[in-house]
Amino acid sequence: MPLRSPLVVLFLICGLSSPCFAQQSTAAHSASAVQIVDDFSRAEFPGRMLTRGNWTVADGKASVVFSDPLFQKFQDHGAMVSYRTPMNDAEVTIEFTPKNADVVVFTFDAEGGGHAFRIRLMGDERPSNAMTYSVNDGGEKPKPMVLNKMLPKLKQGEVNTLTVSLVGQQADFTVNGESFSVSDPLLARRKAITKLSIQHGDLEVTRFDVKSL
């Protein structure tokens, strides 16, 4: 009797529509998918990075107080919670409470450097805005490109909810229930990191969900 190849044997055992193949396909898909559901119920969470500032995680929240001296120490960069998220398209939901905050910034960092998409929510007189940045080409510093400068202000001392759905060059997002849409080819760059930061003031983050699409 002639020997059969391993592939033929697999077909005979499983059949073309068998769960054997479905499980392999699911495993391959999940290996490349991004799905983060962080409710800060644990002090340590896979992939969570809390940088710049004395962060604490307790009672279902990540908290930090960030002052002017710290802002200067870190060369005009604020306290940040971030996750590595290699993906193209994504959905994000974040819940956070700012107190005496001048600005809270949500960012998708682009693969290879730079910012693909950013939402700056202001607590002072400056306008909140959504923007992207030009590609660093030829050594020039990337330039910000404002896509919407009519976003609502931060709600100080209250839970703020930000949702973002970014597919291709289109970003649809909500700020405390108000809906907005912006579009630009630069938004379609592959994303490397998803993060939230504060420059001055207190910040509590109670939910950070990211899912690749």
pLDDT band at 7 (very low <50, low <70, confident <90, very high): very low
Percent of the chain with pLDDT over 90: 69
Per-residue pLDDT tens digits for 181-211: 999 999 999 999 999 999 889 999 999 999 9
Q: What is the pLDDT of residue 82?
A: 97
* 46 pLDDT above the threshold of 70: yes
Mean pLDDT of the chain: 85
pLDDT band at 76 (very low <50, low <70, confident <90, very high): low
Per-residue pLDDT tens digits for 119-144: 999 998 999 999 999 987 767 788 99
Lowest mean pLDDT among 12-16, 43-47, 65-69: 12-16
What is the SS3 assignment for the chain? Answer: CCCCCHHHHHHHHHCCCCHHHHHHHHHHHHHHCCEEEECCCCCCCCCEEEECCCCEEECCEEEEEECHHHHHHCCCCCEEEEEEEEECCEEEEEEEEEECCCEEEEEEEECCCCEEEEEEEECCCCCEEEEEECCCCCCCCCCEEEEEEEECCCCCCCCEEEEEEEECCEEEEEECCEEEEEECHHHHCCEEEEEEEECCEEEEEEEEEEEEC
* 25 pLDDT above the threshold of 90: no
Average of per-residue pLDDT across 166-171: 98
pTM of the model: 0.82
Lowest mean pLDDT among 8-12, 124-128, 150-154: 8-12
Domains of the chain: 35-212 (2.60.120.200)
* 99 pLDDT above the threshold of 70: yes
